[in-house]
Structure 1
């Protein structure tokens, strides 16, 4: 019986560490999750499938909030896709739409910066059947960037936004 109690206590401690009380509190969900802007430029079937799957993973995540425009601060994921087999002479047309070359650029954005700050980029291939696996890998990369920039995000969150000037108030 003692090993079961110890295991239960260990599991509870792990859950409390993974899901902080703030994230579990009703009404605070959007305040604790980091915004992720996903910008897709994918018109081929494999690229569209990958982009859609990635957005679903971000949307379903407990750590991130999918946004459609840059808000206060967050991570930008910019995806460009090209069908690897479309229009190539000598390539069987049945291969078209099955694999995409994907370029991803990661940025950090904030309403206090003049633009997005480049963080990292990569190019990879993804087939229609591998969209789930690759989108999971890209989400893991977002997690690494979030961890690496944790102090920056905490500083942005803790620093009050400067008051708008009268001219800025009229424009807004």
Structure 2
């Protein structure tokens, strides 16, 4: 399975989503940007997307919720260690209240992995971040990765909301 991500204005991306109703796409937005997340075994529909291989997943993606994407640059030689540690670490999140889905994406054209978690809402995500389970697993993963010189740069998190407009009664 592959994930292709493209960015643009919300209204432009909404037209793409509407043009391809049979594709597994999520339209996400935050205050800075909007993006479409397209999961498929086939080719991409986008002209120049960011391309990833889904190497670990759990849960079903939904049209409503809150998404956190951790973008983590990883050295080529550190990929096996990183992939194993994050797959193991994410087993703890799967049973956390409010959890919906998880994807670990291996980059196909750069060094930056995406670790995506989907939540019922922002509160569920923040509750996870404040949990002892998160603190323990995060500390172990970072300590081990730093000792193995896995990272090639600084990581960052981007957050998005999803809102299925079909729930609006204004039309």
Question: Is TM-score (shorter-chain normalized) higher than 0.5?
Answer: no
**Greater Cα radius of gyration, structure 1 or 2:** 1
TM-score normalized by structure 2? 0.26
Structure with the bigger RCO (C-alpha within 8 Å, sep 6+) is: 2
The structure with the greater share of residues assigned to strand is: 2
Q: Give the number of the structure whose residues are more often helix, by fraction.
A: 1
